[in-house]
Amino acid sequence: MSQLSNIIRLSFRDYSHEWRMSGCFIFALSSVLAPMMILFGLKFGIVSSMVDSLVENPTNREIRPIGSGRYSEQWIEDFRKRKDIEFIIPKTRALAATIQLKSDTATRILSSELLATAEHDPLLAGIPKIPADYDEVILSHSAAKKLNVQQGDRIDASLARQFRGKRERVHLTLNVIDIVGSTVTSRNVAFVNLDLLVATEQFKDGREVPDLGWDGDSETSVSRVFPSFRLYARSIDDVEGIVTELEKQGVRVKANVAEIETVQSIDQNLSIIFWIIACVGAAGFAFSLGASLWANVDRKGKDLSVLRLIGFKSSVIVLFPVLQSCYTAILGWLLAVLVYLGFEQLINRFLAPRLNLDQSLCYLLTEHFFWALGLTVFTAIISAILGGLRASGIEPSDGLRDL
Amino acid sequence: MSIVYDLKNVVKERLVDGVGFRLQVPSIEIKAQENIALVGHSGCGKSTLLDMLALILHPDKSDQFTIDPVDGESQSIDKLWHRQRQSRLSQIRKQHIGYVLQNGGLLPYLTVRENIELPRRLLKLADDDSINSIARVLGIHRQLDKLPGLLSAGERQRAAFARALSHRPSILLADEPTAALDPITTRKIMAVVMELIKGLKITLITASHDWAHVYKMDLRVLMQEAEPVDDGRIYQSTFHD
List pLDDT tens digits, range B226-237. Answer: 777 766 666 677
**Is A121 in the same domain as A92?**
yes
Q: 49-68 in B: which are within 8 Å (CB) of A?
A: 51, 54, 56-57
Inter-chain touch A395–B91, beta carbons under 8 Å: no
- Chain B residues with beta carbon closer than 8 angstroms to that of A301: none
- Chain B residues with beta carbon closer than 8 angstroms to that of A397: 47-48, 51, 56-57
Burial of A179: CB neighbours in 10 Å, binned 0-12, 13-18, 19+:
buried
Average per-residue pLDDT for chain B: 85
**Is A381 in the same domain as A321?**
yes
Alpha carbon distance B69, B53 (integer Å): 11
Which of A251, A283, A311 corresponds to the end of one domain?
A251
Instruction: Specify the amino acid at residue A134.
Output: Y
Q: Which pLDDT does position B88 carry in this prediction?
A: 87
- Chain B residues with beta carbon closer than 8 angstroms to that of A401: 47
Alpha carbon distance B180, B148 (integer Å): 16
pLDDT digits (tens, 9 = 90+) for B133-184: 889 988 899 999 999 999 988 899 999 999 999 999 999 999 988 877 788 8
Tell whether pTM > 0.90: no
Q: Which pLDDT does position A140 carry in this prediction?
A: 94
Torsion, CA B149, CA B150, CA B153, CA B154, rounded to 10: -130
Decide if pLDDT at A306 tops 80: yes
Q: How far is A310 from chain B (nearest CA, A)?
A: 6
pLDDT digits (tens, 9 = 90+) for B89-140: 888 988 999 999 888 889 999 999 999 999 999 888 887 788 898 899 888 9
How large is the average pLDDT for residues B72-87? 83
Where along chain B do its domains lie?
3-240
Q: Determine, yes or no, domain membership for A256.
A: no
CB atoms within 10 A of CB A197: 24
Q: State the pLDDT confidence band at A403, using cuts at 50, 70 and 90.
A: very low
B220 touches chain A (CB under 8 A): no
Report yes or no: B34 and B203 within 8 Å, Cβ to Cβ.
yes
pLDDT digits (tens, 9 = 90+) for A4-63: 889 999 999 999 998 998 998 899 889 888 988 998 888 888 767 766 776 677 888 899
Across the interface, which of B47, B90, B147 has its CB nearest the CB of A311? B90
Q: State the pLDDT confidence band at B73, using cuts at 50, 70 and 90.
A: confident
pLDDT digits (tens, 9 = 90+) for A277-286: 878 877 877 7
With a pLDDT cut of 70, the percent of chain B lying above it is: 90
Q: How many CB pairs under 8 A join A and B?
A: 72
> When comparing pLDDT for B212 and B97, which is higher?
B97
**Is A195 in the same domain as A81?**
yes
Decide if pLDDT at A313 tops 80: yes
Across the interface, which of A16, A310, A396 has its CB nearest the CB of B119? A310
**Is A72 in the same domain as A215?**
yes
Which of A251, A277, A295 corresponds to the end of one domain?
A251
pLDDT digits (tens, 9 = 90+) for B35-64: 888 888 777 788 888 999 999 888 999 999
Inter-chain touch A400–B107, beta carbons under 8 Å: no
**Is A17 in the same domain as A157?**
no
Q: How far is B225 from chain A (nearest CA, A)?
A: 22
Inter-chain touch A6–B121, beta carbons under 8 Å: yes
Q: How many domains does chain A have?
A: 2
pLDDT digits (tens, 9 = 90+) for A51-103: 677 667 788 889 999 988 899 999 999 999 999 999 999 999 888 889 999 99
Going from the C-alpha of A144 to that of each of A129, A139, A152, B142, the distances in angstroms are 17, 6, 12, 87
Structural domain of A394: 2-56+263-401
Report yes or no: A22 and A330 within 8 Å, Cβ to Cβ.
no
Instruction: Specify the amino acid at residue A111.
Output: S
Average per-residue pLDDT for chain A: 86
Decide if pLDDT at A146 tops 90: yes
Burial of B210: CB neighbours in 10 Å, binned 0-12, 13-18, 19+:
middle
Domain B3-240, architecture per CATH:
3-Layer(aba) Sandwich (3.40)
Residue A135, C-beta contacts closer than 8 angstroms, at least 6 positions apart? A172, A173, A174, A175
With a threshold of 0.95, tell me whether the complex ipTM lies above it. no
Decide if pLDDT at A384 tops 50: yes
Alpha carbon distance B11, B105 (integer Å): 27
**Is A348 in the same domain as A382?**
yes
Closest CA to A85 of A231, A233, A230, A228: A233
B119 touches chain A (CB under 8 A): yes
CB atoms within 10 A of CB B133: 13
For residue A329, the SS3 value is helix
Q: Best residue in B51, B87, B99, B146 to probe A by mutation, most A CBs within 10 Å? A: B51
**Is A90 in the same domain as A128?**
yes
Decide if pLDDT at A198 tops 50: yes
Q: Determine, yes or no, domain membership for A384.
A: yes
Inter-chain touch A395–B56, beta carbons under 8 Å: yes
Which of A219, A251, A283 corresponds to the end of one domain?
A251
**Is A356 in the same domain as A390?**
yes
Inter-chain touch B118–A310, beta carbons under 8 Å: yes
Going from the C-alpha of B157 to that of each of B112, B186, B212, the distances in angstroms are 11, 10, 20
Least confident of A204-218, A378-392, B59-73: A378-392
Inter-chain touch A312–B108, beta carbons under 8 Å: no
Q: Determine, yes or no, domain membership for A326.
A: yes
Alpha carbon distance B170, B167 (integer Å): 9
> E-assigned strands of B91-233?
97-100, 171-175, 203-208, 220-229
- Chain B residues with beta carbon closer than 8 angstroms to that of A2: 121-122, 124
Q: State the pLDDT confidence band at A158, using cuts at 50, 70 and 90.
A: very high
Q: Determine, yes or no, domain membership for A62.
A: no
Going from the C-alpha of B53 to that of each of A3, A73, B208, the distances in angstroms are 23, 101, 16
Alpha carbon distance A310, A304 (integer Å): 10
B110 touches chain A (CB under 8 A): yes
**Is A272 in the same domain as A199?**
no
B118 touches chain A (CB under 8 A): yes
> E-assigned strands of A237-298?
253-255
Q: How far is B122 from chain A (nearest CA, A)?
A: 6
Inter-chain touch B107–A303, beta carbons under 8 Å: yes
Ranges of H-type helices in A67-153: 73-80, 141-147
Q: How far is B118 from chain A (nearest CA, A)?
A: 8
State the distance between the two ends of chain B, measured CA to CA, in whole angstroms: 18
**Is A321 in the same domain as A211?**
no
How large is the average pLDDT for residues A188-195? 94
CB atoms within 10 A of CB A350: 10
Decide if pLDDT at A395 tops 70: no
DSSP category for residue A185: -
Give the chain A residue nearest B97 (alpha carbons).
A310
**Is A126 in the same domain as A227?**
yes
